[in-house]
Amino acid sequence: MDIAGDFLPPTIEWFALSPYIALVAGALILLLGSLTPQWPRGWYGLVSATSAGVAGVLSVLQFANLADELPRTLVKGALAHDRFGLLALIAICVAVVFTSMTTVDADTSDSLEHFALLLTAALGAAIMVTANDLVVSFLGIETLSLSLYVLAASDRRRSASQEAGLKYFILGGFASAFLLYGIALVYGTTGQTSISGIGSTLAGEVSVPRNDAMLLAGVALLLVGFGFKVSLVPFHSWTPDVYHGAPTHVTGFMASLGKVAAIVALVRLFVVAFPTRADDWRPAVFALAVLTLLVGSVLAIVQRDVKRMLAYSSISHAGFMMVGLEAAGRIGSSSASDGVSSALVYVVLYSVLAVGSFAAVSVVSQHASDVTSTSEGQSTTSLDAFNGVAKTNPVFALGFTVLLLAQAGVPLTSGFVAKFGVIRAAVSTESYVLAVLAMVSAVIAAYLYLRIMVSMWLSVPASGEATSALAPKLSLPLRVTLVSAVAITLVLGVLPTWLLDVSDSLALFAR
């Protein structure tokens, strides 16, 4: 038997794969830089931002092309080529560009490994959001996770950063084990690892009496594994410590890119692979959404460190995203597709808010460290560090305020569009209890953002503190990052027409 003669290689659509190729090329160029003399300051960040920018532009072109084409799969069904994944891929590229620009003036700006890890993390996230196979998705998860473990521990001068990387690595390993065991159980039940293939197999099965114990156990383990990656309660315990200990620009990168990858992969998996078992997994998603909304909001308002505040805030935002997934699980409703599109729109808009907010926090933190010579054990991101910032740099304070108001869901910001979308999806699918709890959670969380704004605009510095300590200096890359984040927040808040126009096509999956 001629095995080689029977082998049919997959058809490769190079242009469709070009965003991934751009990210890989950028990472390889940076790693090859280790064989050359030290590059001029800022060039590593420029290569990283350029690679992600090229990948983002290519993703935009393909997103536009899919207006006239049907979604399809690539590389023999390994990757999905649809607007759902491409919009997430665009958000991932934007997060890398903003983080690279934020890092240019940081202490890691001369470390090519740091910027190479940003691109490898983006590659893993890109694979996650478009994977149409559980094994491929797991490879993407591990690529993303390993990069984030190292990035979290990249500040070698701070023991808190080393601790954050170690905690993330240990708990992340447990989460990966849950995921892998869940994949094994689902494969053992269906004989498939293809996400669309699993959905087709389950849709064609009629078992009387139904005996889905192993399948449901696999689905539960997958939900636990993704719950860790998304920071759902009660799998959230790592988030405050890791976010607080990691370098601030890395924290923003984790909050934006990590959320996009995990939420999009979770929604695709459950909506495409397990729609016939929605009645089984939707109650679990409901419970996780309720716990995440309430615990994240309540614990956020009692914190005194801004990074920990925003860490718990990100947990609360994950609860809103799960509201969209719960709505998508009501398969019999004509509005179930609204849950898919609203969850995607929410995480994409939040990714911009997260990277912009943590960029602002990094500015204040770095300046507080320079002025006060903060020693190990003292925090430069405490709420007191923001006292009176608006008195000496009102433009910076105004920009940060816009980002905070957007996270609170104030009208005329992108945050309002995101929150309104998931709550409307919940109401449309008659999930009234979850919609009310989401609105109550938004009201509770608003107090958190108000505390930070009061510190900047109304509080005064501690007695004897130099006025110059309240004037954070912004480099050109940081200015561009913050201005861009604020502009996106306001434009999409005031003119959300584009998002509304494409929302229907976001629920069309490649199968």
Q: Cα–Cα distance between 42 and 196 in angstroms, integer?
A: 44
Closest of 460, 448, 451 to residue 389, by C-alpha: 460
Q: Cα–Cα distance between 302 and 452 in angstroms, integer?
A: 12
Instruction: Determine the average pLDDT of the residues in 60-84.
Output: 89
Predicted confidence band at 211 (pLDDT cuts at 50, 70, 90)? low
Catalogue the long-range contacts made by 376-381 (C-beta closer than 8 Å, 24 or more residues apart). 376/158, 376/159, 379/305, 381/244, 381/248, 381/305, 381/306, 381/307
Residue with tokens 């995440």: 292
Instruction: Determine the average pLDDT of the residues in 452-459.
Output: 88
pLDDT for res 508 = 84
Q: In this structure, are residues 290 and 435 in contact, taking their beta carbons and an 8 Å threshold?
A: no
Q: How many CA atoms lie within 13 A of 211 on its CB side?
A: 3
Q: Mean pLDDT of all residues in the chain?
A: 87
**Beta partners for residue 79, in sequence order:** 74, 131
Q: Cα–Cα distance between 271 and 199 in angstroms, integer?
A: 9
Instruction: Determine the average pLDDT of the residues in 293-301.
Output: 92
Residue 262 has pLDDT above 90, yes or no: yes
Closest of 262, 281, 135 to residue 202, by C-alpha: 281
Predicted confidence band at 76 (pLDDT cuts at 50, 70, 90)? confident
Angle between helices 83-103 and 476-494 (to 10 degrees): 150
Predicted confidence band at 182 (pLDDT cuts at 50, 70, 90)? very high
Q: In this structure, are residues 186 and 215 in contact, taking their beta carbons and an 8 Å threshold?
A: yes
Instruction: Determine the average pLDDT of the residues in 189-206.
Output: 86
Distances (CA, A) of 308 to 171, 241, 248, 313: 19, 8, 11, 8
Predicted confidence band at 378 (pLDDT cuts at 50, 70, 90)? very low
Q: Cα–Cα distance between 55 and 166 in angstroms, integer?
A: 31
Burial of 53 (0-12, 13-18, 19+ CB in 10 A): middle
Q: Considering the entire predicted model, what is its pTM?
A: 0.92
Name which of 4-18, 100-114, 482-496 the model is least confident about.
Answer: 100-114
Distances (CA, A) of 81 to 88, 131, 439: 12, 9, 34
Question: What backbone phi and psi angles, to 5 degrees, belong to 133?
Answer: -145, 140
